[in-house]
Copies of this chain bind each other. A is one copy, B any other.
Amino acid sequence: MKIDVLRNVFQKNDRAAEQNRAQFDRLGIACVNILGGAGSGKTATLESIVPLLASHLRIGVLEGDLATTRDAERIAALGVPVVQLLTDGGCHLNATLVQHGLETLMQHALDLVIIENVGNPICPANFDLGEHLRISILSVTEGDDKPQKYPHLFKDVRGVLITKCDLLPHVDFDVARAEADIRRLTPEAAIFETSSRSGIGIGNAAAWLRSAIEKSRRVVART
């Protein structure tokens, strides 16, 4: 009985995810789902990258959190439309909650929807939200053993941003080892060493993301 219910939960989520993706495709909108642990630097990365993309793309953001509207306020300060999705203690976003958020967000004409998932390196990876590409965030302060310890977070992602690289001199983090372990999970992943504090790598990551998004939208336009 438990397994049946879990299957129903996933089936319901996958149906809603397909509806979200169909809506994005109909409107020529690309959608990115950003995953990572609590405090890995997801919001700070968006604060750095969104301004670089905003001159080319009309961006809307869905912010997933358990509690508080703090992250949505940080994104709103960038001047892009944002909707806070509160899970009320829940450990991941699901496609139905995203659907509700989109009802509000889609009142704006958009080219790109960025979903910042709940800070959790485990559960969000199991839930398709209807995104076209998935990006994972790993901060150097979390440790270079994380790709091996949390393989789901790095499996089948389009890109990985290794964040807080300004702290590399102060922590034991072997970038080459982390990258090798990520590539073992997803050989074709684009990997960037970044710091939203110093700005290292942000321009490269933004340029890659813009190109990946444009490709997604062209694929959508062709289908």
Interface of A toward B, CB cutoff 8 Å:
1-2, 5, 8-9, 37-39, 65-68, 70-71, 89, 91, 118-123, 139, 141-143, 145-146, 148-152, 164, 166-167, 170-171
Contact of A70 among B8, B68, B89, B149 (CB under 8 A): B149
Say how far A156's CB is from chain B's closest CB, in angstroms.
14
Q: Which residues of B contact A118 (CB under 8 A)?
A: 122
Given pairs A68-B149, A91-B123, 16 additional interface contacts (CB within 8 A): A5-B5, A37-B39, A37-B119, A38-B150, A39-B142, A66-B152, A67-B148, A68-B148, A89-B152, A91-B120, A91-B122, A119-B150, A120-B120, A120-B122, A122-B123, A141-B164
Say how far A170's CB is from chain B's closest CB, in angstroms.
6
Q: List 10 A-B contacts (CB under 8 A).
A: A2-B9, A5-B5, A37-B38, A37-B39, A39-B142, A65-B149, A66-B151, A119-B121, A123-B123, A141-B141
Q: Which residues of B contact A150 (CB under 8 A)?
A: 38, 66-67, 119
Say how far A3's CB is from chain B's closest CB, in angstroms.
10
Q: Which residues of B contact A145 (CB under 8 A)?
A: 68, 70
Q: Which residues of B contact A68 (CB under 8 A)?
A: 145, 148-149
**A8–B141 Cα gap in the complex (Å)?**
38
Name A8's closest neighbour in chain B (CB-CB).
Answer: B2
Q: Which residues of B contact A67 (CB under 8 A)?
A: 148-151
Say how far A14's CB is from chain B's closest CB, in angstroms.
16
Give 7 nearest A-B pairs by CB, closest first: A39-B142, A141-B141, A91-B122, A37-B38, A38-B121, A39-B143, A5-B5
Name A9's closest neighbour in chain B (CB-CB).
Answer: B2
Q: Which residues of B contact A146 (CB under 8 A)?
A: 38-39
Q: Which residues of B contact A65 (CB under 8 A)?
A: 149
Name A90's closest neighbour in chain B (CB-CB).
Answer: B122
B143 near A66 (CB under 8 angstroms)? no
**A124–B20 Cα gap in the complex (Å)?**
30
**A9–B3 Cα gap in the complex (Å)?**
12
Name A151's closest neighbour in chain B (CB-CB).
Answer: B67
Tell me which of A68, A70, A118, A122 has the highest count of chain B C-beta atoms within 10 A of its own C-beta: A122
